[in-house]
Amino acid sequence: MLNFLTPEEIAERLKIHPGTVREWLRQSKLKGIKVGKLWRVEEEEFKRFLKEGKR
């Protein structure tokens, strides 16, 4: 089963502003999907992003 995170959950984990996470998503630095107006990021994608280092 896929587990999805919101920009707010990611921001809380990284101790940054949710707007920064949404900007990464818009710039394709972090891969996610948009459901209506809401972004979702697969937890595995978030782990990959952390492993590679924030760009």
Which candidate, 22, 23, 21, places its Cα nearest to that of 50?
A: 21
Reported residue count of the chain is 55
Query: How does pLDDT run across 6-40, given as a tens digit for each residue?
Result: 999 999 999 999 999 999 999 999 999 999 999 99
∠ CA 29-38-33, nearest 5°, is 45
pLDDT band at 53 (very low <50, low <70, confident <90, very high): confident
Mean per-residue pLDDT, 36-55: 92
Which one-letter DSSP state was computed for residue 32?
-
Task: Determine the pLDDT at residue 24.
Answer: 97
- For residue 9, CA distances in Å to 2, 14, 15, 50 come to 16, 9, 10, 14
